[in-house]
A = this chain, B = another copy of it.
Amino acid sequence: MRRKICIVLTTRGNYAKMKSTMRAIEDDPKLELQTVVGGGILLGRYGDYSKYIKRDGFAIAEHVPFLMAGDSLESMAMSAGMATFELSRTFARLRPDIVIVIADRYEALSVAHAAMCMNIAIAHLEGGEISGSIDERIRHAITKLAQVHFPANLEAAERIRRMGEPGCMVIATGTPSLDLLAEVDLDDLSALQEVLEQRGQGCRIDLSENYLVVSQHPVVTENEAVEKQIANTLSAVRSIGMPIVWILPNMDAGERSAATVLAQQGADLHVRVVSSLPMEHYARLLKHSCCLVGNSSSGIRECEYLGVPVVNIGSRQNGRQRGRNVIDVDHDVDAIIWAIKSQLDHGYYESDHLYGDGTAGKRIAEALASISIGLDKRMTY
């Protein structure tokens, strides 16, 4: 009898993150993969994303529509309940041995709630990290529901143990998000060059020459300062004088503010503006850049793995463990300029693989195949 491992994917990002793990589970003779797609991944501008997942060779065990229409808090909360309700039915049909719960979205708690009620073991990915908002609370609540933990780094693992989880069930595998970076040829820039030219706006950037990447998301709780913050970053990179690829954030108010500031104040810059890129292209762009400037989580995770220098601005990544490649600064033009110059002087870093070495998927599958899990769990203190 193979162990049945169920993964519930609810966003396109979930799939990107889990792909290597899904592959590793399918390759393990002791495991059987059950892929469930539900919620937002079934909708979206480009339609039901599960056709792409199928094209990659994964069977879809079940489609679970659980999103209520509308974007109010009420409809989010109703969707959370609907997800728990519907996934109960799904788990009753599929009868998995272990459900993998991913990170910290509100429906991840629904996945865990349903699995717990159905007496199905829970493995949690990316627990133990620190962030703000409700994600922080959801993440730690799922930790307390889960039996097995696959945190992304040692600090997170330590935090999980300190919350009273048995040490033997905390396995710091790194995040499988990085696995893709180990698979792709990151030096093949021709396709990326083409994508940039098709999809971006502004000046042409020659990727074989030196350039900066800027990626700065709005911080929801600092809403009023957003435009000023972007303007500061823009002033700083202007004074550096290097060509810039500016990545706009996806699908939120910030996309517009960044675009507005760039249109008003960036006319004199040698800049190409693009919306978010597929991860393999984005990784190539980062790897060949001189420095990433802004507040993207990729500065903390992907760039640490790739050794790319990062200037991390402001509070957005507070609490996240970071490597030597990151210089943290406030939203201050002079400080940003100084930090970028320091990074350009330093050049590339060696990676410490804080967030994993690109083998997380395999390590997760190995653990799932061999670990002994009891449903009952008590605090260690």
Contact = CB atoms under 8 A, between A and B. Distances in A.
5 contacts: A68-B69, A77-B118, A82-B85, A106-B116, A137-B145
A381 B106 CA distance: 23
Contacts of A109: 113
A278 interface: no
Interface residues of A, number: 61
A86 B68 CA distance: 13
B118 A73 contact: yes
A40 to B, nearest CB: 8
A243 interface: no
B379 A130 contact: yes
A91 B91 CA distance: 18
A68 B92 CA distance: 15
| Chain A facing B: main interface SS | helix
Nearest to A319: B378
Interface string A58-72: 000001010111101
Contacts of A84: 77, 80-81, 84, 110, 113
Interface of A: 42-43, 63, 65, 67-70, 72-78, 80-89, 91-92, 106, 109-110, 113-114, 116-119, 130, 132-134, 136-138, 140-145, 159, 162-164, 221, 319, 375-379, 381
A89 B163 CA distance: 33
A9 to B, nearest CB: 16
**Which of A83, A85, A109 has the most chain B CB within a 10 Å cutoff?**
A85
Contact of A70 (B65, B73, B144): B65
Contacts of A72: 65
B77 A88 contact: yes
Contact of A114 (B80, B130, B137, B144): B80
A4 to B, nearest CB: 16
A177 to B, nearest CB: 22
A376 B137 CA distance: 8
Contact of A138 (B76, B83, B86, B116): B116
